[in-house]
A and B are shown apart, each in its own frame.
Chain A
Amino acid sequence: MNRIRPFLVTLAALALLGAAWAQTRGGTLVAAWANPVGLDPHATSAYYSYQTLQQVLETLVDFDNEQNMVPKLAESWTVSDDGLTYTFNLRSDVQFSNGRGFTADDVKYTYDRLLDPDTASGNAWRLGAIDSIEVVDDYTVVFNLNTVNTGFLGKLASGSPVGIIARESVEDGTIDTAPVGTGPFKITDYQPGTVVMLERNEFYWGTDANGTQLPYLDALELRIIPDDSVKRSALVSGDVDWTITVPPQALAELDARDDVVVDRSAAPAYWYIGVNTERAPLDDVRVRQAISYAIDRGQITEAATFGTGVPTQDPIPSVSAWAFDYAPYEQNLAQAQALLEEAGVADGFDMLIMPTTEYEESIRAAQVIQAQLAPLGINVTLDTREWADWLDTQGQGNYDTFVCSWNVLLDPDDFFYAQHKTGEVFNFTGYTNPTVDDLLDRGRQETEFADRYAIYEQINREIVNDAVYIYLYNPGNIQAYAANVNGYTARGDQTIRFVSTYLD
């Protein structure tokens, strides 16, 4: 035994050394992907498009795996005392994947295009605070804001929709098929609905701790496989190395396998029932509260996510530094009934709930909600619509309630402002509360964490009490991959990064 031990130690050391060598270079990662809706970052709003573009485009600032703000294309930055001017010092060693050097002009070009009303970008709202952008010199760029917004840097870090693009890619039309960026990979072939092929960007500036140029992989093959159970089969049978989504029904089985890694992280996202506050009797806060008291979020989460989500009564996940964990609505049918009586609808009423075929979990959630509201005499009818129809109906405010989610929310402002401020474009519920409006603006101007926390805690309380969104659960971000895929982490912000990934 004693004689064997040194041998084993040597073996282990050799194995470790082998692992260190293995991560040098090479290989193609084949991924089961989902269908991007176009690749121009300013023309799409689909998350699968963003996740494709995350391999190609980079932002000025970024979040690391622990959600700390870190430099990316900007080495450093300063903010003026009045909070209205941001000056970024850019890296001077960055080249686009076509070999041209990256400068401040590219930053200005990107955001001018994004914010141009003719671009009609679904992402312009993120950067609405920008008044103008000035190029000081090749590596210095100044953003002038029209209003103080503490969360502004976070918006610049919000992934590929705000990533820097090369002007020539717009001018020659490749922006729709192979947008040119400074990221670790470049797109070499895009066959809509079939595959996206990427190769290493040989001009990439990033290196690992040992000074080895990143990325390690030679290429990425993103195969678009529409059906989730087929994605699972492709992974299990070794046709793909990695899959973007996992059918929740298959998680237990995948967890038990040695050749597959299931990677989970809490997603900064929430599912909710959106309530039309302009329709009777839902315009009465007591009716909305009654619904919130009547539902069992645990059951809904179990049915919708097969237990991968976490039931919640307010939007921000408990793992966040901004969590408030405000939970006044323990399921209580007597309380719900009393509220309905107060509101004059003691016998219940008819109500539509609108899930979408695009997200099966919304249908499963709506079915459970339907059953849970029946004892109160609330006669719920499912108004299930396919995505294009759903978007149209919701946009026109033609609904009683709907089930949907908000994704990739980092600053507390992201959780509340666009959704709940009076007259804001994404305030689909018609909600208006002067106290909340005032607090939302103050939250943008305050810079100290403790002060901001107090403000958003109050906003959270108001919105949960008004039951304008009836929060259901925080979903998980789950990806699965073969055991030989290393250097990949499922990230809390749902971005996908293969820059340090390698195969062994």
Chain B
Amino acid sequence: MSLRYLLQRLSTLLLVLFGVSVVAFSIQPLVPGSPARVRLGVQATEENVRILEEQMGLNRPLPVQYADWVGGIVLRGDFGDSLITRTSITDEIVRRLPATLALAGVALLIGLLIALPLGITSALKPGGKRDLSASVVSQIGVSIPDFWMGILLILLFAETLGWLPSSGYEPISEGFFAWGRHVLLPALTAGLISGSIMTRFVRSALLEVLGMDYVRTARAKGVGPRKVLTKHVLRNAAISIVTIIGLQMATLLSSVVVVEIIFAWPGLGSLALTSTLQRDYPVLQAALLMAAVAFTVINLLTDLSYVLLDPSIEYA
């Protein structure tokens, strides 16, 4: 892998971020409603709306607002202040990022713990009893809406059994145990769904490889089933599996909004939702940018991992 390749990928990242920032900004005039009205509520007078919009800088031409905003990020690493709470957006992102990473990371782990064994066992004997039950389980997992799953898990583990807290987040600095107790239910909610999706991908990736000539050859040579699986099948299916893991991770980072709302989880997803509802444009734009960064970085990592998995892949 060359330095040139890395630089090329980084410049793509910047280009993507630029594109996202322009799109995130252009939404503003298209959406009805104004943050000034949200702050004033039903008691808004036209005069107060005008004064507040001026104070918020919303009546300046859009390119000027854009330049001001991007300038703040590039020059000072500062996303500005929320129009609604008037608190620092950078602080907010820094505070919420670990929560989002924890939720997505643990959810992915749970998802993999489900998807790998289920996917492998069902691919080994397609159409068998295990395959059938695995596909029933994953079908159920895919069909259950996350808000419902979340509520069911809360009813069972928090209310009935009293083992886990019903909602909320503890940073890992408060101790691993407290952190783990809080992350488990939301991660389980997102992870069960994510695991169900991944099960089907793992199964089909393995089936594809299992049908290859070299697998048949290996079997004909008398290689045992376990060795066929580990040496020939999994290694060759790894690229497809890593690709789907990358996509799932990116999805988890940006799409766990509902899970975050249900579990009062202070992540970037609930921040994006609240700021959308309140028309808190700078916060929303910051959240969108962070999601874009997450997507591109994870894509890059996925691509880079191909090199490790398949020596024939080389990035020049």
Stretch at the interface among A13-21, A228-236, A308-316, A469-477: A228-236
Chain A residues engaging chain B, CB cutoff 8 angstroms = 35, 37-40, 43-46, 117-118, 120-125, 176-177, 190-194, 223-227, 229-230, 233-234, 236-239, 386-389, 391-395, 404, 425-426
CB of A236 within 8 A of CB of B51, answer no
User: Which A residues touch B166, using CB under 8 A?
Assistant: 230, 233-234, 237, 239
Q: Among A120, A234, A394, which residue has its beta carbon within 8 angstroms of that of B167?
A: A234
Docked pose: A481 CA to B51 CA in angstroms: 41
User: Which B residues touch A234, using CB under 8 A?
Assistant: 158, 166-167
User: Which A residues touch B45, using CB under 8 A?
Assistant: 125, 425
Can you list 24 A-B contacts with CB-CB less than 8 angstroms, sorted by A residue number?
A: A37-B85, A38-B86, A39-B85, A45-B44, A118-B55, A122-B40, A176-B85, A192-B85, A193-B266, A194-B169, A225-B167, A230-B262, A233-B155, A233-B167, A234-B167, A236-B159, A238-B162, A239-B158, A386-B277, A387-B277, A391-B33, A391-B41, A391-B42, A395-B37
User: Which of chain B's residues 152-190 have a Cβ closer than 8 Å to chain A?
Assistant: 154-155, 158-159, 162, 165-169
Docked pose: A237 CA to B156 CA in angstroms: 11
Docked pose: A393 CA to B44 CA in angstroms: 12
User: Which B residues touch A425, using CB under 8 A?
Assistant: 45
Kindly state whether residue B46 has any CB partner on chain A within 8 Å: yes
Kindly state whether residue B271 has any CB partner on chain A within 8 Å: yes
Docked pose: A233 CA to B262 CA in angstroms: 11
CB of B87 within 8 A of CB of A37, answer no
Count how many chain B residues have C-beta atoms less than 8 Å from C-beta atoms of the other chain: 49
User: Which B residues touch A404, using CB under 8 A?
Assistant: 42
Given contacts A230-B263, A425-B45, are A388 and B39 in contact (CB under 8 A)? no
CB of B39 within 8 A of CB of A45, answer yes
CB of A192 within 8 A of CB of B92, answer yes
Kindly state whether residue B151 has any CB partner on chain A within 8 Å: yes
CB of A233 within 8 A of CB of B154, answer yes
Kindly state whether residue B274 has any CB partner on chain A within 8 Å: yes
User: Which A residues touch B82, using CB under 8 A?
Assistant: 192
In the complex, the chain B residue whose C-beta lies closest to that of A394 is: B42
Question: Closest CB of chain B to A385's CB: distance in Å?
Answer: 8
4 additional contacts (CB under 8 A) given A193-B266, A388-B37: A35-B274, A120-B51, A237-B159, A426-B43
User: Which A residues touch B46, using CB under 8 A?
Assistant: 395
User: Which B residues touch A124, using CB under 8 A?
Assistant: 48
CB of B39 within 8 A of CB of A37, answer yes
CB of A426 within 8 A of CB of B51, answer no
Which of A35, A237, A392 is packed against the most chain B CB atoms within 10 Å?
A237
Given contacts A37-B84, A392-B32, are A122 and B264 in contact (CB under 8 A)? no
CB of A229 within 8 A of CB of B85, answer no
CB of A230 within 8 A of CB of B85, answer no
User: Which B residues touch A192, using CB under 8 A?
Assistant: 82, 85, 87, 92
Docked pose: A125 CA to B48 CA in angstroms: 11
User: Which B residues touch A227, using CB under 8 A?
Assistant: 261-262, 264
Given contacts A121-B48, A192-B92, A239-B158, are A38 and B34 in contact (CB under 8 A)? no
Given contacts A191-B266, A392-B37, are A120 and B162 in contact (CB under 8 A)? no
User: Which B residues touch A38, using CB under 8 A?
Assistant: 39, 84-86
Docked pose: A37 CA to B85 CA in angstroms: 6
Docked pose: A389 CA to B47 CA in angstroms: 19
Kindly state whether residue B278 has any CB partner on chain A within 8 Å: yes
CB of A237 within 8 A of CB of B162, answer yes
Question: Closest CB of chain B to A120's CB: distance in Å?
Answer: 4
Given contacts A194-B266, A223-B168, A230-B167, are A40 and B86 in contact (CB under 8 A)? yes
Given contacts A237-B158, A386-B277, A387-B277, are A177 and B87 in contact (CB under 8 A)? yes
Top 5 closest A-B pairs, CB basis? A388-B33, A45-B41, A120-B51, A194-B266, A122-B40
User: Which B residues touch A238, using CB under 8 A?
Assistant: 162
Question: Closest CB of chain B to A457's CB: distance in Å?
Answer: 26
Given contacts A122-B44, A223-B264, are A388 and B84 in contact (CB under 8 A)? no
Given contacts A43-B86, A230-B264, A404-B42, are A388 and B155 in contact (CB under 8 A)? no
Question: Closest CB of chain A to B269's CB: distance in Å?
Answer: 11
User: Which of chain B's residues 54-98 have a Cβ closer than 8 Å to chain A?
Assistant: 55, 82, 84-87, 92, 95
User: Which A residues touch B41, using CB under 8 A?
Assistant: 45-46, 122, 391
User: Which A residues touch B266, using CB under 8 A?
Assistant: 191, 193-194
Docked pose: A123 CA to B41 CA in angstroms: 10
Kindly state whether residue B52 has any CB partner on chain A within 8 Å: yes
In the complex, the chain A residue whose C-beta lies closest to that of B43 is: A122
Question: Closest CB of chain A to B192's CB: distance in Å?
Answer: 18
User: Which B residues touch A40, using CB under 8 A?
Assistant: 86
